[in-house]
Structure 1
Amino acid sequence: MIRTIMRSPAFLRIPSEPAGEADLPVMADLLDTLAAHADECVGMAANMIGVSKRIIVVHDEETGRDLAMMNPRIIAGGGPYETSEGCLSLDGVRPTTRYERVTVTFLDRRMRERTATFEGFTAQIIQHEIDHCDGVLI
């Protein structure tokens, strides 16, 4: 189901709670909402659709597919660089520091624990969405 985009900075600043199997419908809604906004958005966190759970979806530039992650956690990063980012939930563009490569642990759609390394723009998107989970606005 396509959900309305949350635009309240006060809500978006609240750190999200861990997600579990009962939150798989939220993951599906995030994927639907990302697909509906594909022309203007490459990643989303659950709080962007009003659900304060640690779930993100990102468009993986390397595979061309959308990737869903529950309880993502960056365990390694390398190659810091300065960039600017916008956000579907907020107006404008702001400067930030990101890593060129990140290694992330997460649960996939089948609730299997995975660890994967991402590079380039996909790594940047993941970092932005994990910031959302932590209540950090860029």
Structure 2
Amino acid sequence: MIYPIIPYGDPVLRKVAKPVDFGSLDLVKLSEDMFETMYAASGVGLAAPQIGMDIRLFVVDGRPMNEGEEEEDIDPSLIDFKKVFVNATILDETGEEWGFEEGCLSIPGIRGEVFRPEYVKIHYWTEKGEERTDVFEGFAARIIQHEYDHIEGILFTDHLNVVKKRMIKNKLSDITRGKVSVDYKMKLSR
């Protein structure tokens, strides 16, 4: 099932999400639906708040970022990088911060340079209830950090410098008012 993406301006995107109660949801089915929704929108990550669910769950699949790349440009952190994170907690972020122009399915048409540490250590459960602690690097770490921000009520635009925030203010207002054109399902207010 493909869910509509919740746009910038919806209060659910600013809430700190609640822990998932493992007995209350079919997490395997929900994560499959979230992957389907993410692929339909050409994304590499999707957090539950982006489909209107106030829970600590996000899915990632960075493999498309390597598609079509020359061998020397393939990011090894993205090989086989398809995962579900339930009730995740970032334990540590280390390494040099590096900038990359990020975007977001909930904030279409806007991109901006965000600086994030190169490594992330994260504790989480899989959709099948398996507990894990892993360290990710490079683009894998960035995707996780971006999606983790969503379950903390933080958007990539919060990380932008003051000048860039001023430059995108009107575009953000348009998204809030439903004035946006996307080629995926979005829950727009009119």
TM-score by length of structure 2 reads 0.66
Q: Which moved more, 1:90-99 or 1:116-125?
A: 90-99
Matched residue SS, 1:29: helix
Q: Partners in 2 of 1:82 and 1:36 — Cα distance?
A: 27
Match of 1:116?
Answer: 134
Query: Does the 8 Å CA contact 1:54/1:71 hold for their aligned counterparts?
Result: yes
For 2:34 and 2:149, how far apart are their aligned partners in 1?
Answer: 16
Deviations 1:73-132 (A, max 9, x none): 111111222332110110301332211111111001210110111111111000000000
Q: Distance in 1 between matches of 2:154 and 2:104?
A: 12
Percent of paired sites with the same residue:
35
Alignment of 1:1-138 (within 5 A): 1-9=1-9, 10-21=11-22, 22-23=24-25, 24=27, 25-37=29-41, 40-61=42-63, 62-79=78-95, 80-91=97-108, 92-138=110-156
Is residue 106–residue 115 contact of structure 1 (8 Å, CA) maintained in 2? yes
Number of residues of Structure 1 aligned to a counterpart in Structure 2:
136
Give me the whole-angstrom Cα distance separating, in 1, the residues matched to 2:30 and 2:88.
15
Structure 2: gaps of 5 or more residues? 64-77, 157-190
Moved more, 42-51 or 94-103: 94-103
Contact kept, 8 Å, 1:26 with 1:46, in 2: the verdict is: no
Q: Secondary structure at the match of 1:34?
A: helix
Q: Which structure has greater strand proportion?
A: 1
CA RMSD of aligned residues (A): 1.6
Q: State how far apart, in whole Å, the 2-side matches of 1:87 and 1:81 are.
A: 18
Bigger helix fraction: 2
Larger radius of gyration: 2
Give 5+ residue unaligned stretches, structure 1: none
8 Å contact from structure 2 (residues 7, 106) kept in 1:
yes
Query: Cα distance, 1:63 vs. partner?
Result: 2.9
Counterpart Cα distance in 2 of 1:83 and 1:51 = 28
SS at match of 1:35: helix
